Chain A
Amino acid sequence: MKIRLREPALAVVFILPALIFVALFLYYPLLQTFFYSFFKLHRTVDWLNESFVGLRNYVAVFKSEAFRDSFLFTLYFTVLTVVLELSLGLGMAIATFSVHHRLRGILRAVLVVPWAIPPIVSAMLWKWLFHADAGVFAYLLTSSGMVENVPPFLTNPTLAIHSIIIASVWKNASIMGILLLGGLASIPNDVYDAAKVDGARTGFRFRRVTFPMLVPTILVTVLFRALLALRMFELSYAMTGGGPGTTTDTLSTFAYKYFFTYARFGVGSSYAMVIFAFVFAVAIIYVSRVRGNLRFKE
């Protein structure tokens, strides 16, 4: 027997495999984490047989000083990396856009490289650059006479925080550059021509023509990066392990530690839900901006 499906039914069949994967490995775990966060789960995830504690996990999380630190670090990290990445990325995008086309080819290739490196590997790379005895920064600072003793990049709280931020900026500024380059390239040429005919100089053209037309792209890029920076895990985990103390623990590394070091799935899940709240808030703005012009033929 041959089964004939109409197009709407066929569409459902085609979408179903993707939906099953996404539901099983993204939405179902999300729901589970949400449930876990209301139960006292130590060395077990059998929440049906464990005691319901209401919001007590959340209260414990919000009360702890470690949470306050990791929360502040996550926010500080997100704001500072995104701002630095935006400034550097904008500079690199404009440079790539305006240089001779042969140089532009080189630059575009080079900008892809930091992005292609796995996060954990880039963390290892920066750990070596910031090495206290033999790292390249230690050498540059001491040999140039700027400091006498090598600063403990990864073991002093303030320095560790900023070392991680530098590593993150290196990894992501170039991708920001590529995204903004796409925005620059999509500005129609006649806009520039018109400005030139009107006698606008380069600086003025940038401030009054290029930049305003780039603002939508900048906004979406910033939201996109903020979404990723809020969940930062690998850099802290591999560069400092959250240390010294808990100064470079992010919300993500903390949740992870609660899960897989302390086996306290309830508290860990509450941590995860706090990250979710932030990501959710940013995601709503991001999604609404991105889906705005999405059109498919019905």
Chain B
Amino acid sequence: MSNANPYQRRRVLNRFLEVVVTIAIVTFCLGPLFWVLSTSLKPMGAEYLIPPELWPSKPTLQAYEVILGISEPGREDAQESSLTGVEEVGVASTLGFLLPIRNSLIVATSVAVCALLVSALAAYAIARLRFQWKIQSLMLLWVGGLLPAVMVIAPTFVLMRTFGLLKTLPAMILPNIAYNIPLATWLLAIYFSTLPWELEDAAKVDGYKPLQIFWKVILPLSAPGLFSAGVFAFLGSWGEFMLASVVSMGIADVQTVPVAILNLSFEYRYQWTWISAAIIVSVGLMVFVALIFQRWVIQGLTAGSVKY
């Protein structure tokens, strides 16, 4: 008779409350995304139905085909759009979301690789080499990361014009490397300093030079630290908007995902199935990356802002 056992009853109640709380938090975090996913699967126009459907009765990938440039928005779509007040429709090139995804992948990957390399070298020197001003060097590299983007955007634009890099991807890659060095150096310096000091002694006995110790001993042992720093640089430069929007100067060929999605929403501001599909496409990959590297993301976040 379970009723007779108050302890067991309380445990069941606790377990029930735990599940309720979990569902509430999951709904809070994923609910908005679920709604956009649902919208993205609706046929065009169905997003305005009242009452709205929680989940489309006839889910379709139409919006994704338009976004990814597989099918061009047809004549019916054009009519629909002119009714809703959009002047220009049917410019397939502005809708091909594949190009921005390619651009963003190029930018994010180059930034992550370069920032990791440069930061790891600096962090290694700070954490493992004998010299004064260690803390001061780390502070100098780290504090710059606290600067608001708008503080540096105008001179950076001018700098890129001087270099002749406007309307090119390197104009986004180079400054983004700098933006991601502070956190990466910080995380890696803390990580490197936790490795045992016997490593160096042993390697020196074997005749390793500092650069060899860095490359062959420290780096291979630092995968977790490199993962978290790398994921941050990748996600950060993938989502970076202000610089990307300013240096791309409206040229479709060099737009990254955040810039393209905003332009899409200006040009087709009534086509929320399309915009929703674009949101899901650009969010999907990042959420995937963040979930795969979840452990390192959480470690990195904690070490990068609170732990001290």
Give the interface of A toward B (CB within 8 A). Answer: 7-8, 10-12, 14-15, 17-19, 21-22, 24-30, 32-33, 36, 45, 92, 95-96, 98-100, 103, 106-121, 124-129, 131, 133-134, 136, 139, 143, 170, 174-175, 178-179, 182-183, 217, 220-221, 224, 227, 230-231, 233-234, 238, 251-252, 255-256, 259-260, 265, 268-269, 272, 275-276, 279, 283, 286-287, 289-298
Q: In the assembled complex, which residues on chain A have CB atoms less than 8 Å from the CB atom of B32? A: 125-126, 129, 170
Closest 7 A-B residue pairs measured CB to CB?
A: A118-B239, A25-B178, A116-B290, A231-B148, A32-B155, A29-B152, A29-B155
Report whether A291 and B129 are in contact in the complex, using a CB–CB cutoff of 8 Å.
no
* B190 CB to nearest chain A CB (Å): 8
Report Cα–Cα, A25/B49, bound state, in Å: 49
- Choose one: A19, A29, A283; the contact of B156 (CB below 8 Å): A29
* A125 CB to nearest chain B CB (Å): 6
Report Cα–Cα, A18/B161, bound state, in Å: 23
Whether B125 is near chain A, meaning CB under 8 Å from some CB there, is yes
Known contacts A107-B26, A291-B139: does B178 contact A26 (CB below 8 Å)? yes
Report whether A136 and B26 are in contact in the complex, using a CB–CB cutoff of 8 Å.
no
- Choose one: A36, A113, A170, A259; the contact of B287 (CB below 8 Å): A113
Report Cα–Cα, A103/B20, bound state, in Å: 11
Closest Cβ neighbor of A36 among chain B residues: B154
Q: List 10 A-B contacts (CB under 8 A).
A: A14-B214, A22-B144, A26-B178, A45-B158, A107-B25, A121-B258, A124-B262, A128-B275, A170-B32, A294-B135
Whether B22 is near chain A, meaning CB under 8 Å from some CB there, is yes
Where chain A touches its partner, the secondary structure class is helix
Report whether A33 and B22 are in contact in the complex, using a CB–CB cutoff of 8 Å.
no
Q: In the assembled complex, which residues on chain B have CB atoms less than 8 Å from the CB atom of A30? A: 147, 151-152
User: Can you add 10 more A-B contacts, CB < 8 Å, to A129-B35, A139-B51?
Assistant: A10-B129, A11-B125, A14-B122, A21-B181, A27-B144, A29-B155, A45-B154, A128-B276, A233-B242, A296-B138
Report whether B125 and A109 are in contact in the complex, using a CB–CB cutoff of 8 Å.
no
